[in-house]
Amino acid sequence: MTEAKPLNVLFLCTHNSARSILAEATLNHMGKGKFKAYSAGSSPRENQTPNPLAIVTLERAGISTAGLRSKSWDDFAGPDAPSMDLVITVCDNAAGEVCPYWPGQPATAHWGYADPSEAVGDDAVKLEAFKQTLFQIKRRLELFTSLPATSLSKMALEKSARELAKK
């Protein structure tokens, strides 16, 4: 029996430094080969890197940060890019932008999260904001990764992912 290929999920945010990075790493950690997560930004800054607090938060949660880097969504729109099954925007700015054409026309959904990098206060306050965002992402991804295979066809996937936005 051949193993099914993993579902490719792309998480989008504006700069690809916090929420989308948290979601990519968390789904790859939880997906157990059933999912392959990627992340990108609509307009990452030049030389953009993941927010150091995102990396610390993931490491403290026992989630690998190996290979995480900020990328442009253009990296995933070309003919050599992996084909996505689902594209999820995780910030309101990216949700309102005109997305590029995604090869294969994947299902889409929006899961909005507050930007933890905008937390005001000392390092402890800022780290707590990242921890809370990771908790929210993880909770939604626990539901997502537990969906039965019948919920993962393109139409069902889009409906399921959009329903999870309400949770």
Residue in the block written with tokens 């393109």: 154
- Chain-centre distance for alpha carbon 93: 15
1-56 residue pLDDT tens:
445 788 999 999 888 899 999 999 999 999 888 999 999 998 877 788 899 999 99
* Residue 167 included in any domain: no
* Residue 31 included in any domain: yes
* Residue 118 included in any domain: yes
Based on the structure, what is the number of domains in the chain?
1
* Residue 125 included in any domain: yes
pLDDT at 147 (0 to 100): 84
* Residue 69 included in any domain: yes
Using a cut of 0.75, tell me whether the model's pTM lies above it: yes
Q: Give the tokens for residue 71.
A: 């990328």
Strands 35-41 and 86-89: unpaired
Could you tell me the residue range of the domain that residue 91 belongs to? Answer: 7-156
* Residue 27 included in any domain: yes
φ, ψ for residue 57, nearest 5 deg = -60, -45
What span, in angstroms and rounded, lies between the C-alpha atoms of 75 and 137?
A: 24
pLDDT at 2 (0 to 100): 44
φ, ψ for residue 85, nearest 5 deg = -95, -30
57-107 residue pLDDT tens:
999 999 999 999 999 988 888 788 888 999 998 976 555 555 665 666 788
